[in-house]
Chain A
């Protein structure tokens, strides 16, 4: 038992050190980089809300546009940002990988922790702000649902990120291909609409997009007066589990190559 405890201690120490390092350095050259990262997440929500208010679109669910868009953008960008950060970790953490104590997986986990913390803080600021401005009544349908959906979004991002970073090692041009592939995801993931508004034909395609399930499931847990008939938890969990295991497996097999 003792060696395992010792190993876990070392791992958590290493990951803690990596989180400390990227907290100070990751986001730009200024000392307050991580505050900028939080406001970047908020900025996306506020910018989109302003545009949608200007073209005076109705709110599909609930009565406030900011809350509606935030409930889509925050889980979506949590997942996608995590994928993109982990995908480029071989470049950003190149100097760290050769260190005997640090493995690529440690770097990936430190990115996961930092990104989750940033999204969590951004969400709290946004919701409290909306509450103080009287745009939100501090009530949600299911806290458990929100937590589970967030965890799924994080795990999905982690799995796909590990998969992508391993593919990039073998096929460097995949990075560009992924950029092209992931561009339409912002439109296809139910950020500014819900499934009720779409025709059957569209839903038949979108039901294969796990991110669409995540945003729908997030709103289903957030809004008391609205239930999504679209969410297929079984598919979402199956997809996430498969990507996690595939990601970890591919990472394990390419790790040796990366560290040389």
Chain B
């Protein structure tokens, strides 16, 4: 009798286990979809912390307008302080403790690299890492979709503009000595090579450097007429300021991560004026209908009172717009495989960022998972205002 009961109990257990697999996806219930994101709210990259907050407010607005097929998005955001060890610990805790359907955005190349293999081995979708690293898509991964323009392409666009439009002859690069900085350096080197030129100085900056005078001396010694900055926000400001103190005045250009002009102007005490940056989305003060819509519906209604309608806040929306579109298109019976299939069908998708195009998975084509090849260039004006120098540039 006892044995029979145990067998029955075992069968019930197996049934429960298999039915849960067959009927529901991890992180999805009848009423909820669990989505996670990490973002530095403290630490050296905290200036980019508003990306994760922007995504959170966007999800609040989606929930307030009925959710997705009747399900609310439950958003799990944690502060990793731009520390890859914390990123990995936080992602594992949420994934294995709560159960996350998919991961949205996530600031930083190094933090992202710390969890990429973990997520991909478990076939967990990750959309729109908030970093333009080649590591996401070269080689492509079936469950990882890049929305951020590649740093490599941003650097190429900037150098091309400097050489072809501004006639610059001596290009130097100051780069953060990690994968983020090296992606920018690689783009600059290759673009210059295509013009038969070389980088006149490659100056690595360490995260812990607070004195950049030796770096600027090297740039000045190379007599650069354009300096490409691929560093953190604070290093970029220090380099521009120290150059001013040394009476060294090349054209500075920088990556989209330094394109929040009101912030850059404030912390550089106005010295950021004239700097040209690549960018990944419409400008916060533009008349673009999408920007006006999100400003009114998302920012004005859901942002905390200390929040600022800036580039990085809007980026938190840009990077997850394709994810939300695919969640809608996947219909009420949501599974990861259906979601990935819908992501692959996104072509010509246009939100407030660049045009997004994905394709069915092809291990030999990184653009099946790198959704955009577009960026555009803006110049900082007095008071942190921006002037659009180009329209969207598409790079091959």
Q: Do A and B come from one complex?
A: no
Interface residues in chain B, defined as those with a beta carbon under 8 Å from any beta carbon in chain A: none
